[in-house]
Structure 1
Amino acid sequence: MNRKASAVWQGSGKDGNGQITTQSGVLSNNPYGFKTRFENEPGTNPEELIAAAHAGCFTMALAFQLQGAGFTADELRTEAVVTLEKDGEGFTITQSALTLTAKIPGIDRQKFDELAGIAEKNCPVSKVLNAKISLNATLSA
């Protein structure tokens, strides 16, 4: 299976701008640039897209872990915060912090923690990130 996206850039690094498009069309010529990446101007940026990919990947991986163990979640809600830090002349993604709130009937805390840990380590996005990954998981009633 292959998935693809493309980026087009015009101009210099700080004053230029670009557009990101995904194969599915969910993103179509979405703007990004210095201001969307470093100054919170409306638009997207690579770190936001990585955070979305990690949150989605981990959450789906956990749903499959739960299914395999005989559980079905009422809700899994995950936020991923990706940290970009200055590294010499450039930048490095140093961390992806996952925060999960889950409502899963009939599961105990030990089994929940076990399955969430497996999902964290084995989702494909976790495997590709060369960064510290943390998980703060809450099981709600």
Structure 2
Amino acid sequence: MKYILSLLTIFSISAFANDELKSIYLAFESDYMSNDASKYSQWLTDEYEIVQTMHVPGMGSDSRKVTGKQMVGLMKKMNKPNSTPRSTLDNTEVRLTDNTGFCATSSTIAKTKVSGKNYEEKETREACFLKINSDFKAVEHKIDVYYKNI
């Protein structure tokens, strides 16, 4: 019985830690999607890069890489939140990278129009973090956007 209680305790602690890491990612994503440059910039390491790749049927893929400083500058010009659906605890997965970091991956689906045609837009996001002092900071961020004819 002690063995079962010990296992349940370990799994409960692990689930709590997993949800805590998901919440960290969701807070980062919220600041990113809100285009709030001052909040977003607090998450970034000097090495941070964001890579966004668009996958369009029949046309191929196109990737853009932007540094954190460049992204903060773009956010200051946008000044309004992104309308793409936000991630949730349920659609976010966490993977530990080592004792000081983790990556979180999520996917969202929306419907959109491009050049008058209806598409399903699936966005897969991954951000990786390192614990620096007592805070988690983003080091890498990838966004893949897939379009599918409806």
Q: TM-score, normalised by structure 2?
A: 0.33
Q: Which has the higher strand share?
A: 2
Q: TM-score, normalised by structure 1?
A: 0.34
Q: Which structure has more RCO (C-alpha within 8 Å, separation ≥ 6)?
A: 2
